[in-house]
Amino acid sequence: MNDNILTKLGISTLLKKDNLPSLYLGDKVYYGTGKQFFSRSPIDFNINAKFKKISNSKVEKVIDSLQDEFQLWQEVPAPKRGEVVKTFSLLVKENKRELAFLITLESGKIYEESLGEVQELIDICDFAVGLSRQLYGLTIASERFRHKMLEQWHPLGVVGIISAFNFPIAVWAWNAMLALVCGNTIIWKSSSQTTLCAIACHLLLQKAIKAYPTLPQNIFSLILANRQTTKSIVKNKNIKLISATGSVSMGKSISPMVASRLGRVLLELGGNNAMIVTNSAKLDLALRAVVFSSVGTSGQRCTSLRRLFIHKKIYKDFISSLVKAYECVNIGDPFKRKVLMGPLVSKKAYKNMQLTLKKVKDQGGKIIYGGERIKNNVPSGGYYVKPALVKIKHSAKIVQKETFAPILYLIEYDSFEEVLKLHNSVPQGLSSSIFTQDLKESEIFMSSIGSDCGITNVNIGTSGAEIGGAFGGEKDTGGGRESGSDSWKNYMRRVTNTINYSNEIPLSQGINFEL
């Protein structure tokens, strides 16, 4: 590991006997004393960081103090809160390469994509800074004489953010930067795979708030924890909103816990994203979009392309171009220039991929390219695979499932009506795309009778969304929306006010209630 980078980011000074703190609140750090856990780099399986489990009582205390600090932070004017985000963003810009290094080291995504991820964080900061002057409500016409109705948006309280390994800092920032300008305090449970990324961001954020010594200082905390500790966070009544990114099963397990205490959840769960390549599509563009969407981040984005519907007139030719393109994908050390695909995140991810490919065969599918592990010309220890192309019937059970790996199902279609039905027939509903030059097809695809996903693209791939739009999806994807548009409303509570400036006290609905 590059020690200079850890020193520059202030992480080295925290290392105590090979142990890093598991809990952070503002400037304070707490070392765990329980079971030890490690994070390993997917590149070569070397250990990056070691931690010990922190006690639940410590975590509860931190949440209590976030609750106290919230009382102060909510009163700081929103544009002032935005200034803290602006300062943080400048610090991130200064450390862009260092943060990208940590992302690649801990997630295994290629360095170029990691730079893109840091940029995504910077972009959402810009968005949040602008937003800090635009937290507006409506005024509503009252039915009563000389009455006024209006809506205000107030801060919520402590917000809990659970983030995944594949976007260790950008997806956290989608939530955290909005939650902060909205006046909330934050507890962040980062993926235990990407702990150094999380510590680095926490320390930069801490540096940013320190630049404003008169403002409350302990408004964000970070916890590096296992499942047990996560549960205790999710169940804590002081946390007003839990925003979680991860698998469908994770969402299904935490959602009832939050519901049982009538808290709020914002879920961004799995996708089973599809693209339709019609016979009018510009095939060279479609091909490039398919490759980035299916192979980018080693097929480990929630927006990764998993199902590809190809019109029967172009099916054969398109597939042979696709195989050729896949053959050109350089797989290996994600730090190396020209490498387009790094390793899978873990042995478990590799095993899942192989299990899925076995099921593919059992269910009548045929692997026409890739799927196997590569051991030559790649760092030893990591799980490097060739991305797989699979011919299979859409009715095969395995196609309904999201496997977080580079496996692309190829399905031939004939009629547009038929393909739309197939497209929507899976349990998940995150991202979708169509390549067509036919206006009617693209309009239908985007309409209410078209794709049932939260993200519906025309002539671009399924992955790589910009921060300006609301991000999220329907059905098993969880229904949450994060990032742009009016997603900020998730992090605030709405208040309806009715004001009487008349000399009477009329009741609504014309009710007469004279004494």
Which residues are near ligand UN1 by CB under 6 A? Answer: 120, 166-167, 171, 245, 301-303, 463-465
Q: Which of 125, 197, 201, 302 is catalytic?
A: 302
Residue 268: active-site member: yes
| Nearer of residues 11 and 103 to ligand UN1, judged by Cβ | 103
Cβ atoms < 10 Å from Cβ of 180: 29
Following CA atoms 420, 421, 427, 433 in sequence, which dihedral angle do they give, to the nearest 10 degrees? -10
Min dist. Cβ of residue 320 to ligand UN1 (A): 27
For residue 405, the minimal CB distance to ligand UN1 (Å) is 14
Neighbours of 275 (CB within 10 A): 27
Residue closer to ligand UN1 by CB (options 236, 293) is 293
End-to-end CA distance of the chain: 80
Please check whether residue 245 is in contact with residue 69, taking contact to mean a CB–CB distance below 8 angstroms: no
* DSSP code at position 98: H
Q: Select 216 or 478, whichever has its Cβ closest to ligand UN1.
A: 478
CA dist., res. 99 & res. 6, Å (int): 10
> Would residue 182 show up in a list of annotated catalytic residues for this protein?
no
Residue 109 beta carbon to ligand UN1: minimum distance, rounded to whole angstroms: 10
Residues 236-266 as b/e (b if ≥16 CB within 10 A, e otherwise) read: bebbbbbbbbbbbebbebbbebbeeeebbbb
Q: Which is nearer to ligand UN1, 135 or 244 (CB)?
A: 244
Q: Which of 238, 261, 198, 224 is nearest to 70 (CA)?
A: 238
Q: Write down the least CB distance from residue 82 to ligand UN1, Å.
A: 23
Q: Which is nearer to ligand UN1, 90 or 470 (CB)?
A: 470
Rank residues 21 and 478 by Cβ distance to ligand UN1 and give the closer one: 478
Give the residue at shortest CB distance from ligand UN1.
Answer: 465
Q: Which residues contact 241 (CB under 8 A, 6 or more apart)?
A: 156, 157, 159, 160, 179, 184, 263, 264, 265, 266, 490, 491
262: tokens are 């009538």
Distance CA 297, CA 299 (A): 5
**Catalytic residue (choose from 98, 106, 117, 268):** 268
**Beta-carbon count within 10 A of 89 CB:** 22
The packing angle between helices 111-131 and 96-107, to 10°, is: 120
Q: How far is the CB of 3 from ligand UN1 (least distance, A)?
A: 30
To the nearest whole angstrom, how small is the minimum distance from the Cβ of residue 464 to ligand UN1? 5
CA 257 remoteness from chain centre: 21
- Helix/strand/coil for 373: strand
Active site residues: 268, 302
